[in-house]
Amino acid sequence: MPKAQRNTTSQHRRPSAALARLVSQAPALRSALLAWYRASHRPLPWRTAPSLYKTVVSEFMLQQTQVETVLPYFARWLEQFPDFKTLAAAREEAVLRAWEGLGYYRRARLLHALARALAPLSTPPRTPAAWLALPGVGPYTAAAITSIAFGAPAAVVDGNVVRVLSRLLGDRTEYKDGSAAVKALTPAADALLNHVHPGDHNQAVMELGALVCTRRKPLCTVCPFVSGCAAAAQGDPEALPRFAAKKTARVALTRLWIERDGALLLHRKSGSARRLAGFCELPEASSLPTAKIEKKPLAVKRRTIVNHLFVESIHRATLPPRTPDPAADSVGGFLWIPWTKMDAVTLSGPHRRWIGELRKILG
């Protein structure tokens, strides 16, 4: 076992017997899983007329995002950027605009960088190790892409797979986070992998977690793994996997709504910002200390980014007479955006939605 997967504590030794049991059951489980997948999988657009490009785009979009959310974005993306070459040649602003609303925008930038790395190649790499050297590709993505596109014998482990495997093994370890669970359960994923049909197998395990072995009210009676599932036998599959409680930090922000001559004042984050680099949002009050702010907010909005809950209070405000125009300083990042050009601006998804809502209310 790789060094990173060793653990000498008793709670991490317990699954070893379950892993040995899984190895003995693996042939029957693989067969049952593949039969279920071929009869029950969803006809998703990246599975119909599959291609390497479709696989790559779907894997990036599906990271931390549900299938239902991804579907319309995937369709529009393929229309605008039908292949690696087109995507590689696109400007970053166009790429981010097409991604707007999906969140976790670093994925879009990395997908863009990956396209630029792949476009000049006469043939794409075919092994997980080679893909790991490319921008934005980690172990999960490398395994998913190469197993689906090239039949590489590499097992994937994402949140759905963690749930399926922890229940199958009856693993009651309390993991610090998803990354720790992925690391610990990778040997089980490797042991279960169907080396003849690795791509279908990986998609099947993820599909099983999405449709049957769900977080709440799993459909154990129709699960192809039910006969070998320790959690189903114990009657408490919803209890697994187990994770330590996460702490969420609350961040309060005051945002300003400043209009002038048919334009709204926005603030563009710098390209080096940790989050939402290059995106426009309503300016924070702290960035315009001379603004006269109405006490009653127009709206109070909430959004969660990673483990932070942002509570954003939006207030109408004005700039006192003779106040220097904040947009005159190109370094500051302030922009007056005419309402007629708001659709062309790259906004964070929540702020585009909030601005649209308030515009309708305010007229």
> Which candidate in 59, 100, 207, 281 is catalytic?
59
* Section 97-113 average pLDDT: 94
What pTM did the predictor assign? 0.83
Provide the residue type at 216 as one letter.
R
- Calculate ∠ Cα 201-66-356, nearest 5°: 160
The candidate with the shortest Cα–Cα distance to 309, out of 246, 260, 251, 223, is: 251
**Residue 42 token pair:** 């969803």
CATH class of 3-243: mainly alpha
What is the CATH number assigned to the segment(s) 249-362? 3.90.79.10
Identify residue 278 by its one-letter amino acid code: G
Asked if residue 199 lies in contact with residue 151, where contact means CB atoms within 8 angstroms, the answer is yes
Confidence band (pLDDT; 50, 70, 90) for 16? confident
> Does the active-site annotation cover 312?
no
- Would you list the domain boundaries of the chain? 3-243, 249-362
Q: Which residue has the higher pLDDT, 161 or 274?
A: 161
Angle 28-18-238 from CA coordinates, rounded to 5°: 90
Confidence band for 40, pLDDT divided at 50, 70 and 90: very high
Q: H or E segment at 218?
A: none
H/E segment holding residue 21: helix 15-40
What pLDDT is recorded for position 169?
97
d(CA 179, CA 183): 6
Alpha helices in the chain (DSSP H): 10-13, 15-40, 52-62, 67-80, 84-89, 92-99, 106-118, 128-132, 139-150, 159-169, 178-192, 198-211, 230-234, 349-362
